[in-house]
Structure formats: C-alpha cells, structure tokens
Structure 1
Amino acid sequence: MAQSQRFASTQAPAAPGIDTVIARMRALALDLPPRDGVAVFNRLYLTVTETVGRAVDRGAAGGFPDRGAASTLGVRFAERYLRALDAAVLGGRGPACWRPLLQFRRHPGVRPLQFALAGINAHIGHDLALAVVDSCRTLGCGPDALEDEFERVGDLLVLLEERIREELMPGPDLLQVADPLTHLLGSWSLERARDAAWGSARALWALRELPCVAAEFSHRLDTSVGLVSRMLLTPLPD
C-alpha cells in the first residue's frame, strides 16, 4: 500500500495494550473450569493473541510494518470479547452474538469443539468488523488504510482454526459416526467469516454519518451472528 494512503502513525512504535489484554485472558484461563465453554474458547484465543503480540513486537519482520496500527487493531479486537464477558459478570445482556456461548457454556451436551466454533463465530463475525471501525476512529483513518493489518491479523487467526483441529477435532473414525458434528463442522467457514467482517466494517464506516442507520446495521449484524452461534451450540447426543 502506498505511503500516501497510510496515516501519520506509520512509523510509530507499538501502542501499549496488547500485554494488558493478554494478562486479562491469562487470568481468565486460571479462574475458569477447564470444561467451561468460555474457557475452551479463551485458551485458544489467548494463544493466538500472544502470537499477534509477538508479531507486532517484531514489526516488519513479523509482518506488521505499522506496529502502532496493528497494536490498536489487536487491542480493540480483544477488548470486544472482554467487554462481553464483563457485561455477563455484571448481569447485563451484552452483545447478542456472545449470549449463546454464555448461556450454554456449561451444557453437558455441547462439545468443546462447538464452544470453540461459537466463540470464533461471535468474535470474527461481529467483533472484528466493529474493531476495525473502532481502530479507524482511534487512528483517524478509513478502513482501506488498515487493510494490510486486517489481512495479517486474519492470517494469524488461521492458527486458531488449526489449533482447534489439532486439539478438539475427533478422530476420522468418530467423525464418520458423529454425523451431526460433521454437519456442524461443514456449516461454518473462517475464510467466509473474515470476508464478511471486512465488508461489514467498510459498510459501517460508510454509514458513520448516518448514526441511526449504522446502529440498525450493527444490531442486525449482532443478532444474525448470534443466531449462527446458537445453531453451532445445538446439544448433540453422545
């Protein structure tokens, strides 16, 4: 991307904040029971956030020439997840996209793989788009100026999908028998969710001068992503 298309922070050092959100997630990992649905997602997301933090620290060598912009996007992204948990702890409803996971987090008929997928769906399908807009407002730029950072963060999120497959996927023999789980696995795509998040971010930014329309768009995005999470958490027979 041409320098003229970037914003003033291109050569800025990484902004503080990633270490703070990592510390929050590490504390959650210690506090939550291992089988808790939020704990399942949190363990996986913590690993990816730590990877993002190390990549941002390396700057261009880690794929992030603009460390300030990358740090801002990473922090705004993680904060959306952490605020949803804070709302639940305080008795609030929080975003609709996170409610199914929070409601079913201890359901014995929901598999760890389903918890992980529901968390990723909520975080990428809803939070990522809004985090891009949050970052644009913080940095004083449009989404196009953050496209490189968005793509790099997206590439690192692929690690989340790979870790899920390594840790939570049942063996091939089990997948042949567990038809409902096989169906769920095939019903959601990280790549499609990333593409949709980028389109939603651009739409929300274009609607920024129409706050009522932007709020309605954001609400509908939240509820539609929540519906997908609810379906991903359908209890399955043993």
Structure 2
Amino acid sequence: MAQIDHFTADSAARIDSGGPSVGPVVARMRALRSEWPATDGVAVFNRVYLAVTEEVGRRIGRGEFPDRRAAVTLDVLFAERYLSAVGTVAAGGRPPACWRPLFQYRRHPGVRPLQFAMAGINAHIGHDLALAVVDTCRTLGCEPPDLEAEFDRVGDILTMLEERIREDLMPGPDLLEVADPLTHLLGSWSLERARDGAWSAARLLWRIQELPGLADEFIERLDTGVGLVGRCLLTPWH
C-alpha cells in the first residue's frame, strides 16, 4: 500500500515535531492563496479548504474534539493529500485521477467558481478522506472506530460550511440562464453521501490492507470513480 505508507512515513514526523498542530498546513494553503489569481479553479477550492481548515483548528483549540491529537493528526494527514496533489502538478507530474479534472479545467472560462469548489470537495472527500483515516490509524496505532467521533465532527463542520459556500459562489441574477442547470447538476452531488462513502471505504480499506494487490486495486478504482464524478461536476456552461 505505497500511497498510505508514503504519507504515514513522511507526515508523522511533522506531526510529532513540537506537538501536533494544523498551523503548518494552514500556512502552506495561505502561501498558495497568494500565488494564484482569484479566478483560478484550484485557487477557488484552496480558499474554501483554507476556511474549513482554519475553522477546524479553532475548534480544536477550544477543546471541541474529544481527542485533540487524533483530530489534529487526521486533519493534517487529510490536508497533506491535497497539498501533495498541488506539489505533484507544480513539479510537472500527474496528480491522482480524482484531482486531474480540477487541474485540467482550472482556467476554463465556462466553468463557474461553485463548480470548481465542489469538484475539489468531491476529490478530497471522495478519495482523500478514506486514505487519510487509514493514514491516521497507522500513525497513531489505532483503528477506524477509534476515530469516528473526530471524523463526525470534521464532517459536521464541512456540512455547515457547504451551504455558505453554495450561497457565496452561486451565480447571481445576471447569470440566470445558467443557474437552473447548474443548480440541477450540483444538486445531484451530496456531501453527506460522500462522507458516508468515505467512512465505509476507510473501514473496508483497513480490513484489506494486508492484501496489497486487492488494496491497491481498491484505491485505484476509488480514485478513478471519484475522478469521473469530478469531470461531470466541471461540465462547462459555455
């Protein structure tokens, strides 16, 4: 399971050094925000994800998570998946299939900001979240059920922010000609269902991790399927 081993080994040291904190990944996302124009599709998702990560960090600081270390570890390893995709593209490589549509369409004039945001959320939750749960279990020496409370709290924050994201990025009255089909398209994707799917995928992946061939095939199929959904979410409107 090379994808999981890589993130566990590379990220555990950063988490352990000086105590767990979401600060470093927040700083990296803020740096990316200053590098890209606001209209860039990846920048749109980065702004959304930065807001979510900052909110999670604030709630961890207020003691709202039952296990602070588990919450920070999950949040950091989750963020590392997105940041790794960004780094891969910057280095001229191919990111996981779930992220490719967002990077391919990031400058398409016919794709709306809300589509970019939702495609990024789809990639990150539909694929990365399940792997991040397994990463976290391997790092902390626990099993997925031990992380369920932290997983649910992070999911609640995402759900709370999703409505605000849709309101902020939905086309205004001057774009009513695209608003109806756009609403239909994005209404077909559900954050709650994606969360449930990620949790089921994490539990299954944890059980089959000792079967490397099967585990790798499962990850590849998950990646490809999420990528296909992302491509649909990024359907240009002109």
Calculate the TM-score normalised by the size of structure 1. 0.89
Spell out, residue by residue over 1:83-106, the C-alpha distance to the aligned partner (whole angstroms, 9 max, x if none): 000000111111100000000000
Q: How does 1:1-238 map to 2 (within 5 A)?
A: 15-59=19-63, 62=64, 64-171=65-172, 178-237=179-238
CA distance in 2, matches of 1:158, 1:186: 14
Q: In 2, are the aligned partners of 1:96 and 1:226 still within 8 Å (CA)?
A: yes
Q: In 1, are the aligned partners of 2:66 and 2:149 still within 8 Å (CA)?
A: no
CA distance in 1, matches of 2:188, 2:31: 32
CA distance in 1, matches of 2:230, 2:69: 32
Structure 2 unaligned segments of length 5 or more: list them.
Answer: 1-17
Q: In 2, are the aligned partners of 1:175 and 1:182 still within 8 Å (CA)?
A: no
Name the structure 1 match of 2:14. none
Which of structure 1's runs of 4+ aligned residues deviate more than 2 A?
A: 14-17, 170-180
In structure 2, relative to structure 1, the CA distance for the partners of 1:28 and 1:159 (3 Å cut) is farther
Matched letter for residue 57 of structure 1: G
Matched letter for residue 218 of structure 1: I
Name the structure 1 match of 2:8. none
CA distance in 1, matches of 2:41, 2:177: 24
Calculate the TM-score normalised by the size of structure 2. 0.89
Please give the secondary structure, in 1, of the residue aligned with 2:62: helix
1:82 Cα offset (Å): 0.3
Q: In 2, are the aligned partners of 1:129 and 1:200 still within 8 Å (CA)?
A: yes
Please give the secondary structure, in 2, of the residue aligned with 1:106: coil
Return 154-163 or 108-117, whichever deviates more: 154-163
CA distance in 1, matches of 2:146, 2:60: 17
Matched letter for residue 40 of structure 1: V
CA distance in 1, matches of 2:47, 2:33: 6
Please give the secondary structure, in 2, of the residue aligned with 1:178: helix
Q: In 1, are the aligned partners of 2:137 and 2:143 still within 8 Å (CA)?
A: yes
Q: In 2, are the aligned partners of 1:97 and 1:226 still within 8 Å (CA)?
A: yes
1:175 Cα offset (Å): 5.3
Q: In 2, are the aligned partners of 1:29 and 1:43 still within 8 Å (CA)?
A: yes
Matched letter for residue 228 of structure 2: L
Percent of aligned positions that are identical: 71
Spell out, residue by residue over 1:110-159, the C-alpha distance to the aligned partner (whole angstroms, 9 max, x if none): 11010001000000000000000000000001100000000001011113
In structure 2, relative to structure 1, the CA distance for the partners of 1:109 and 1:58 (3 Å cut) is same
CA distance in 1, matches of 2:228, 2:73: 29
